[in-house]
Chains A and B, each alone.
Chain A
Amino acid sequence: MAPLRVLLIDDEEELVVTLAERMMLRGIEVEGVTSGADAIGRVQLVKFDVVVLDMKMPGIGGLEVMKRIRREQPGIKFILMTGRGSLEEGEEGMQEGAFAYLLKPINIEDLMKKMMEAIGV
C-alpha cells in the first residue's frame, strides 16, 4: 500500500516541523506549510490524501482554505485543529464537510487514527 500523503497547515512553523517529524516516524509522507496561500499553491501541484488544517490562521482563514483546496482536489479529506476557545470553528468546518476536528494540543495517536479512518483504513 502506498504511504499516506498528508498536507499539514499551521501558521506556527515549529509546530508544523515537529508534527511532521512525528508523522514521518510513523511512515506518513508529509508536507508542511505555514499559510493558507502556500497550501493552495501546493495542492495545485501535488496530490494529497488528507489535509490537517489549523482553523485559526492569519490571512486566508481555515474555512476558506478548505473550500479552495476542495476546488483543486474534490476528494481530499480534512482534519481540523482548533483551540479550546474556538470550538465553533471546528463545528463550522464539520458542516462544510471536514472529516473530524481535534483540539490543540492534539494527541498524535488520535490524529493517526482519524487520518486512517478518513481514508477508510
Chain B
Amino acid sequence: MSEEKLLREKGLAFFGSITASFSHEINNVMAIISELAGLMEDLLRVADQGHPPQLERFRGISVRIGTQVKRGEEMIKRLNRFAHTMDEPVKTIDMTHLLVDLIALSERLRTRRRARMETRFPEETILLVSNPFRLQQAVFSCMELVLAASHDNQLLRLILEKQEGGARITVAGEDPIVKTDEAALSFLPILMEELGGKVEVISTGNGGLSLVLSIPYSMPEDSKKPIDNRRKPYVASGKSTV
C-alpha cells in the first residue's frame, strides 16, 4: 500500500476510533439525564398518591442533571474541536491545548486498560505550525502502543518539552514490555515524516516502552498541501530512527 493511502486509511481509522469512543461517552451522559428525569417523574407519581413532595430530593436531582449537562457540553465542545482539526492541513497550534484535548478524548482508551496518567507540560507556550489532526493521531498512536505493550493498570506518562527547532513529546509506560504491535510501530515513522519530525523508541529504566516524538516548529512545505495536491511520486526522506 502506498504511504499516501496508508496515511489516509490510518487517519480515517483514528477519526473513527475517537468519535466512536466519545459518542459512547455522550450516550452515557444522555442515559444518566434520562434516568434522572425519570426519577423526578417517579417522585411526582409518589406525591400524586398523597405522599408529601420531597423538595430537597428534587433540588438534589436538579443539581445532578446540571452536572451531567455540563459534562455533556464539555464533551461535545472537545469532539467539535477535534472534528475541526481536519479543516486545515496546517495551522498554528498551542501544543498544551492540543494535548489537553487529546487526553480527554482518549480517556476511554486508558480506562479500558485501567491506566493512570501523569502529564508534564512546560510553563511557556509552545506554538507549532503543523497539522493538528496528524499530531493528535501520532500522540494517540503512541498511547495505544505503550498501553498495548504491557499489562493493565500501568502508569502512562506524557511529557511535552521545548527543544531546539521545535517540541518533543514523550509517551512512556512504566511496566516492562510484554509485546509490541509491530505494524502500528512501523506506521509511526511514516506519520512523523509527514509532520517533518521523527520518532525514537527507547526502553525505560525498568524495561517499559517510551516513544519520543520530535516535531519541528514548521512542517515541510509539501506536507502543508492536502494529500491530493502533492507532487508525485511522494519520496520518503527516511528521517525516522525506527
Contacts and interface: CB of A to CB of B under 8 A. Distances in A.
A39 B40 CA distance: 28
A83 B27 contact: yes
Contact of A22 (B42, B68, B112, B152): B42
B39 A58 contact: no
A4 B86 CA distance: 51
B24 A56 contact: yes
B201 interface: no
B32 A58 contact: no
A59 B42 contact: no
Main secondary structure of the interface of B (DSSP, over half): helix
B38 A22 contact: yes
Interface in A77-93: 83-86
A105 B31 CA distance: 4
A18 B114 contact: no
B25 to A, nearest CB: 9
A119 interface: no
Contact of B32 (A18, A25, A59, A83): A18
B32 A15 contact: yes
B34 A105 contact: yes
13 contacts: A12-B28, A15-B31, A15-B32, A22-B35, A22-B38, A25-B39, A25-B43, A58-B111, A59-B114, A86-B24, A105-B27, A105-B30, A105-B35
Interface residues of A, number: 20
Contacts of B30: 105
B194 to A, nearest CB: 30
B112 A58 contact: yes
Contacts of B230: none
B28 A59 contact: no
A84 to B, nearest CB: 7
A87 to B, nearest CB: 13
Given A22-B39, A83-B28, 14 more contacts: A12-B28, A14-B64, A18-B36, A18-B39, A19-B35, A25-B39, A58-B112, A59-B112, A59-B152, A85-B20, A85-B24, A104-B27, A104-B28, A105-B31
A83 B24 contact: yes
A14 B29 CA distance: 9
B23 interface: yes
Contacts of A11: 111
A24 to B, nearest CB: 10
A113 B226 CA distance: 55
Contacts of A15: 28, 31-32, 35
A106 interface: yes
Given A58-B112, A59-B152, A21 B24 contact: no
Contact of A106 (B20, B31, B64): B31
Contacts of A56: 24
Contacts of B27: 83-85, 104-105
A108 interface: yes
Interface string A51-72: 0000010110000000000000
B68 A14 contact: yes
Nearest to A12: B28
A20 B36 CA distance: 11
A12 B30 CA distance: 12
